[in-house]
Amino acid sequence: MQLVAFAIKTLPAEVKSNWQRSLIIILCLAVGIASVAAVKIYTDSAISYFKDNVKEFFGADITIVLPSELTNDQQNFLDYQNLGTLTYISDYNQVAFNPFNRQNNMPVQVTVIDPEVYPLYGSLELVDSSSSKALLSETQAAIVSASLFEQLELKMDSLVIVGNTPYVIRGILQETSVPDGFMGRIYTATPPQAEIGNLGSKHAYLKLTEEKDIDTAKEEIAFYFEEETISTYVEISSHIDTSAKILGNVALIASLASLLLGGLGVANVAQVIARQKIKQSAIMKCVGGKTWQITFLIIIQIAFVGLIGVLFGFALGWALTGVLPTLLKDIISISIPIRPNINVFLQVSLLGLLVTVLFALLPVLRFTKIRPLAVYRDENPERLLSKNSKLVTALIVLLLAAIFGLFIGFIIDSPAVGLGFAFATLILTSIFLGIIKLVLKLILKLPIFFGTSAKMARRSLHRQYGRTSGAILALAFGISAILLISFIQTDVLNFMHSLRDDQDTPNIFALLDSESGPSSESLIEFLEKDDRLENVTSMKMLTASLETVNNRVYDASQASDPRSSILAKAFLIGAVDPKNMPTELNYTKGKLLEQNNEVVMEEYIATSLGLKVGDKIGFLIGENLREFDLVGFYSNMQKGINVTASSYATNEALQGLNPAFSTELLFARTKPGIAGEDVISTLRANFPNLGFAFDVGQLITLFDTIFTAISRFMQFLGFFALVSGLIILAGTMILAKWEKRKETALIRCLGGTTKDVINVQLWENGILGVLAAGIGIWLANMLSMLINVYLLEIEFVTRPLTNLFAFVLVLFAVIVVGAISLSDVLKERPLTVLRNE
């Protein structure tokens, strides 16, 4: 304790005499901590915001999904319950039309409510902040979502047609939730006319009276309704918590990269500080100091400087949370109030301190193990360092990694992941540092160093390649992260777009409801007349369940995939004409579908169920058990977006069966340059009772948006790693400044000009830059290729221009940072330097 007090007391003088080094520590940590803090503050604020407002989002304490027909008991229970306030909500899936242009339409969810009591919590937020209660008390009045209002070009106090029910628009909903995608919303007290469209669902929403306990209330309800149909806000809250935590942790781990890189910078500085304190350490040993005490003193002082960096970083991170919503605005449109709490602050600060101490420990320990005899040596005291054994060093490193891993594990609630992350990082970093040192060594051996400047640069690089390799690693990592994400993003999006634009794949799908919707014949007839389309086909799909395999009852527990028991119950068999398939199947095993007793199956589903080509399988379709030979597998994977069935059999084999549910799927392909959306609008305009229809283009646009926002976010984190790299590089150069000074003075004394001095620097930084850029770009390309080929199974394209651009950019940045950090050396007179020695 006395030691700590002493360390703190003497800290200001220490920092003053070492201000450049302290500054490097502060910057290294601040950048890393900023990225961690920004992510952590934002995700924690988001989680607590959702949890605090869960009742408003959920709308009730308890909801019940009501069956289409209530039993008398159920009806009685609902009528006479004394749990609290109850209100009914019915959702209808419909199509909304502009009254003057039916072509201008959009699917909507119509929510019919009782304006007197709905919502039970919060209020419907309208753009002009008027009260929904007053507006909706009028019949046919409606409140519409902003996206519907805009897309259909509607007007206030004018009409919107839903199905064939007219509503008067009295209010516009403020967009506060996740964007609607391509579904509008309407709130009204008047139900739409029933014969068109379908009733999606009906719910009872319940707000408990004060004295009712949520669990007992649920039990009471469960007496009348099925358990699965009842949900409570507590369950929703814990769902939100779990999924948000997973997302937050992924982001946190990504953001840790720059903090760890910052740690490398701290290690560099710690080493220099400790080396400079060799003599002092020896003196302290002469007056009775032990190695651990001296190490502790130095580490405490470094940690305090680190703490300044951490605080600074936290503030910066907090400020940056202002940027995150902009980056993520396409996927999270709610503005989340940012509330950094003391817990986050403590966690992040501790993390920063931990990184500082862990990374500083070994370099410091190396020098505090000096023998006290060094007090007698003014030159080369390093000869008196006792050598650490490799084994002990390795053990210490492992121990430090374990401590770090456990701490991360503590933050993200999963020690295993934390430890795994720590050790994986350790291994990868060692490998890459090894590679970088090796490559640097090899480059220094190349016969390219002609002339004095080049040779001096080589000497200087040789002297400090241990330290520079950390900077190179950080830079390479940063640039490769940014490049890799942009590569993957463009490759995936290009692939998606090529799918959308591929004339052989259908891009319009409609799922027809056999009971209330239009008949498939009339639709096909209509579509075939539309000259914007080609290839209109349809396919009947039946539900079936897998009952027997090779004449034995199918046992789901033997399959590899835990979901297979559900998969086995929910087969969709497409009925097709083998000679005229609606979509081309991509066969991977076995043969094509030909005979009536044959079936082909999607490979992924089949293998998860444990089925093989050649198996004899029995499907229960409606009341009938039908036996088929499983003759082939096809894969949906390479085909990308493709609405297909999980297996196919011939039309004839499936004729005359009455499955529990059957549907007709319609495929069509627009001609080049025609937007699928427009065709669907026409369809809806003519068949208002059309079930579910969508256009691949719209899906891809949605995917684009989400994917781009995530990529942007990851690149933002990658950018921090790049900045860390530059700071470490500048740090390394400043640390070696003294040597640089001597060298420069020497060049000058030997008659060299400023140009020669600059030349040496250009050589030196040029090599570092080439190395960092080269390794970073190589890494990005290699990873991108591996990911494309093995994971995404899409083509990898080399991008010479982007690579060249990144290369030049990094090289330039390194040279500029080098020039800035050493600019004052250039101005010095040689005499001052040599005299100072």
Partner 1 sequence: MEIMRTIELGKTYRDGEKETEVLRGINLEIDEGEFVAIAGPSGSGKSTLLGLLAGLDKPTVGQVFIGETEITTLPENRLAKIRGRMLGFVFQSFNLIPTLTALENVELPLILNGIADAKKARELLDLVGLTNRSRHYPNQLSGGEQQRVAIARALVCDPPIILADEPTGNLDSKNSKTVMDLLISLCEEKQKTIVLVTHDLDFASKAQRTVHIEDGRIS
Which residues of this chain interact with partner 1, rule CB under 8 A?
Answer: 2-3, 6, 9-10, 13-14, 17, 279-280, 283-291, 293, 371-373, 375-376, 378
| Nearest distance in Å: CB 4, partner 1 | 10
* First-residue to last-residue Cα distance in the chain: 38
Give min distance, CB of 263 to partner 1, in A: 25
Q: How far is the CB of 21 from partner 1 (least distance, A)?
A: 12
Identify which of residues 97 and 304 has a Cβ nearer to partner 1 in the complex.
Answer: 304
In angstroms and rounded to an integer, the radius of gyration of the C-alpha atoms of the chain is: 34
What amino acid occupies position 222? Answer: A
Which is nearer to partner 1, 193 or 291 (by Cβ)? 291
Q: Which residue has the tokens 């290839």?
A: 535
Burial of 90 (0-12, 13-18, 19+ CB in 10 A): middle
Sign of CA dihedral 716, 720, 721, 722: positive
Q: How far is the CB of 51 from partner 1 (least distance, A)?
A: 49
Residue type present at position 103? Q
Q: How far is the CB of 11 from partner 1 (least distance, A)?
A: 10
Q: Residue 307 CB, nearest distance to partner 1 (Å)?
A: 19
CB 375 within 8 A of CB 279: yes
Cα gap 386→183, rounded to integer Å: 72
Q: Closest approach of Cβ 301 to partner 1, in Å?
A: 10
CA–CA dist 695, 677 (Å, integer): 6
* 229-236 contacts at long range (C-beta below 8 A, 24 or more positions apart): 229/64, 229/65, 229/66, 229/67, 230/62, 230/63, 230/64, 231/62, 231/63, 232/61, 232/62, 233/54, 233/55, 233/58, 233/60, 233/61, 233/62, 236/54, 236/57, 236/58
Nearer to partner 1, 332 or 385 (CB): 385
Q: How far is the CB of 372 from partner 1 (least distance, A)?
A: 5
Q: Which is nearer to partner 1, 285 or 741 (CB)?
A: 285
Quote the CA–CA distance of 813 and 446 in Å, as a whole number: 24
In the complex with partner 1, the residue whose CB is nearer, 6 or 100, is 6
**Contact call for residues 220 and 62 (beta carbons, < 8 A):** no
Please state the closest distance from residue 375 (CB atom) to partner 1, in A.
6
Give min distance, CB of 362 to partner 1, in A.
19
Quick one: tokens of 676? Answer: 């699928």
> How far apart are alpha carbons 688 and 273 in whole angstroms?
77
Phi, psi of 28 (to 5 degrees): -55, -45
Question: From the CB of 386, what's the least distance to partner 1, in Å?
Answer: 9
Of 93, 40, 53, residue with least CA distance to 176: 53
Length of the chain in terms of residues written: 837
Closest to partner 1 by CB, 287 or 446: 287
Q: How many CA atoms lie within 13 A of 118 on its CB side?
A: 21
Q: How far is the CB of 237 from partner 1 (least distance, A)?
A: 53
Nearest alpha carbon to residue 244 among 130, 413, 435 = 413
Cβ neighbours of residue 579 closer than 8 Å, sequence gap 6 or more: none
Pick 3 or 834: Cβ nearer partner 1: 3
Name which of 137 and 293 has its Cβ closer to partner 1: 293
Measured from the CB atom, is 224 or 738 closer to partner 1? 738
Give the residue among 351, 475, 442, 470 at the shortest CA–CA distance from 404: 351
- CB closer to partner 1, 369 vs 669: 369
Nearest approach, Cβ of residue 365 and partner 1 (Å): 14
291 vs 490 by CB, closer to partner 1: 291
Please write down the HEC assignment for all residues of 585-652: CCEEEECCCCCCCEEEEEHHHHHHHCCCCCCEEEEEECCEEEEEEEEEEECCCCCCCCCCCCEEEEHH
Provide the token pair at 305. Answer: 């400087």
Question: Under DSSP, is residue 552 helix (H, G, I), strand (E, B) or coil?
Answer: strand
Which CB, 392 or 566, lies closer to partner 1? 392
The residue (of 198 and 291) whose beta carbon lies closer to partner 1 is: 291
For residue 268, the minimal CB distance to partner 1 (Å) is 21
Closest CB to partner 1 among 13 and 416?
13
> How is residue 335 written in tokens?
């503005």
